[in-house]
Amino acid sequence: MEKVTLIVNGMSCGHCVKAVEGSIGELQGVKKVSVDLAKGKVDIEFDANLVSLNTIKETIDDQGYDVK
């Protein structure tokens, strides 16, 4: 299991939190996802054998946010 903290720009409200947490949480291999809206950070715990960090980043990007 790996842990990563991504810096994500553009999340502005509770809907954005749900959009990111919901979409990442649905990915197979993701165990935990937690958005800190004030800091613009997303903590993710995932199994790298099941899902790649790139897939996670692309999923956030697909929701309309900018992953640093």
Q: Answer yes or no whether residue 68 interacts with its own copies by CB under 8 A.
A: no
For residue 26, report the phi and psi dihedrals to the nearest 5 degrees. -80, -15
Q: Answer yes or no whether residue 15 interacts with its own copies by CB under 8 A.
A: yes
Binding residue (CB under 8 A) for its own copies from 8, 19, 42, 44? 19
Torsion of CA 39, 28, 2, 60, to 10 degrees: -30
Maximum CA pair distance of the chain?
A: 32
Could you count the other beta carbons within 10 Å of the beta carbon of residue 13? 9
Q: Answer yes or no whether residue 38 interacts with its own copies by CB under 8 A.
A: no
Binding residue (CB under 8 A) for its own copies from 4, 14, 50, 52? 14
Least spacing, CB of residue 2 vs its own copies, in Å: 29
